[in-house]
Amino acid sequence: MNRIPWIRRGHGPGRAHYIHSGESRGADTILLIREPYRSKEAVMIGYVTLGTNDLPRAAAFYDVLLAEIGAKRMMESEQFVAWSVRPDLPGLGVTKPFDKGSATVGNGVMVALVVNSKEKVDALHRKALQLGAKDEGAPGQRSEGFYAGYFRDLDGNKLNFFVGG
């Protein structure tokens, strides 16, 4: 399986490090601390995690779906799997809840994944449904300059693929 290579572990300026599997900084938190972004621009989102009650099933779903946009597994443990298109860009992960309780869907929570064309939105929405996701809104123009398709993954988490412009 192809994984995105991570920069060496360590602490201090210019070095990457991450919390080893089994460590935590709080409920449902996975820290992925990578080499500082080369850009001076502020980046708001580093990664998002979604809860799952069946990690192998969720990982298989996202392996296929996210491969469509060039994302590969970047980290994984018995607790979580995370993907990204590049190590210096935001990632998406699925995780078993740290508190050992059942993963539940957040009411009002949604993850929006940007792509570069309406055709890609259409294709990815279709692929998600083929993989067992539930339709939450067919791809289409939602407002001027915003085209999106909505779905719920196998655990009921709401996501969309969108393109602006």
Domains of the chain: 1-102 (3.30.720.120), 105-165 (3.10.180.10)
Task: Tell me the helix, strand and coil percentages in the chain, rounded to 5.
Answer: 15, 30, 50
pLDDT at 15: 32
Q: Does pLDDT of 7 surpass 70?
A: no
Q: What does the pLDDT look like over 136-160, one tens digit per residue?
A: 999 999 999 999 999 999 999 999 9
> What's the angle, vertex CA 149, arms to CA 53 and CA 74, rounded to 5?
50
CA 71 – CA 93 distance, rounded (Å) = 11
